[in-house]
Amino acid sequence: MTGPIFDTHAHYSARAFDADRDFLLGSLPGKGVVGVCEQATHSGDAPKVLELAHRYPWVVAAVGIHPESLLPAADCGEEGPAPTVSVYGGDWAAEMRALAPYYEDPKVVAVGECGLDYHWPVPKDAQLAMFEAHIRLALELDKPIIVHDRNAHADVYALLKKYQPKGIVHCYSGSADDAVWLAKQGLFIGFGGACTFKGAKRAAKAISALPLESIVLETDCPYMAPEPVRGTRCDSSLIRYVGEYIAQLRGLSAEEVFRTTAENARRVYGL
């Protein structure tokens, strides 16, 4: 058994886990997993996320709207558009109002997953307005924010610098210098399987530059399984490969990395 593992970013409500979700989630404590933060990406996810958080004591929840949820139907796959489009017609503000009661649940410990994603054909002005609204909500609720940043570093950082929320920059892909100032501002930097991939030199530099007290571990499961199991379905127990990689990179024991990052996760989520 490896641990203590705290997975700060997971998606067990995804279809990839339909067949064996209960067995897998129930088995995690036996694999050293002491905590999981399940992320909602729109109003369709939120009830499933809360159901999992209430069923398993080691699961907590984050609720928000992912920028990808704004994708129009023509750009979506076989699952079709998210409720942000199919139910609310792109009116993300109305969807945020509908999500408001979820934040009263003590199992909801963060606002997110939200942020900016310039990889997808979603208008930037809508993304920026929605992300700023999430930041303001997190500050109003005094909850951490879970930040998604894909190909949008400058605009994400500008808003984080303006509002200075607490939270996690998920799946960090920026420079070491930016990671350091984000951490000095009080944000935690999340690393998952992608940091173990061959060629992930920017992640290695950021991990080396940061104090361990500013790092949290994540999976983004079922996506981005780490080396040496890349290409398989990811789950929280596979964080051990990420922790071992970070330990080797920094010349630390894996147990120290697991222990410190789990403490960091509890601190950012107020657990």
Average pLDDT over every residue of 110-139:
97
- Has residue 24 got a pLDDT over 70? yes
- Has residue 79 got a pLDDT over 90? no
- Distant-in-sequence, close-in-space partners of 82: CB < 8 Å, separation ≥ 6: 41, 42, 44, 66, 68, 69, 70, 71, 76
pLDDT, one tens digit per residue, over 192-251 is: 999 999 999 999 999 999 999 999 999 999 999 999 999 999 999 999 999 999 999 999
- Has residue 36 got a pLDDT over 80? yes
The per-residue pLDDT for 112 is 97
Identify the DSSP state of 221.
B
- Has residue 103 got a pLDDT over 80? yes
- Has residue 149 got a pLDDT over 90? yes
Average pLDDT over every residue of 251-268:
98
Residue 5 near residue 240, CB atoms below 8 Å:
yes
The per-residue pLDDT for 3 is 79
Residue 11 annotated in ligand binding: yes
- Has residue 166 got a pLDDT over 70? yes
150-156, long-range: CB < 8 A, 24+ apart? 150/115, 150/116, 150/117, 150/118, 150/119, 151/117, 151/118, 151/119, 152/115, 152/116, 152/117, 152/118, 152/127, 153/178, 155/116, 155/124, 155/128, 156/115, 156/116, 156/131
| Burial of residue 95 (number of CB atoms within 10 Å: 0-12, 13-18, 19+) | buried
Residue 42 annotated in ligand binding: no
Q: Give pTM, 2 decimals.
A: 0.97
Average pLDDT along the chain = 97
The per-residue pLDDT for 2 is 76
Residue 148 annotated in ligand binding: yes
Counts for the chain of helices (H) and strands (E), in that order: 10, 8
Identify the DSSP state of 88.
T
Structural domain boundaries in the chain: 5-269
The per-residue pLDDT for 1 is 64
Average pLDDT over every residue of 64-77:
93
pLDDT, one tens digit per residue, over 181-208 is: 999 999 999 999 999 999 999 999 999 9
Average pLDDT over every residue of 30-54:
98
Q: Which CATH superfamily is domain 5-269 in?
A: Metal-dependent hydrolases (3.20.20.140)
pLDDT, one tens digit per residue, over 153-162 is: 999 999 999 9
**16-50 as b/e, with b when 16 or more CB fall inside 10 Å?**
bbeeebeebbeebbebbbbbbbbbbbbbbbbebbb
Confidence of residue 77 (pLDDT cuts 50, 70, 90): confident
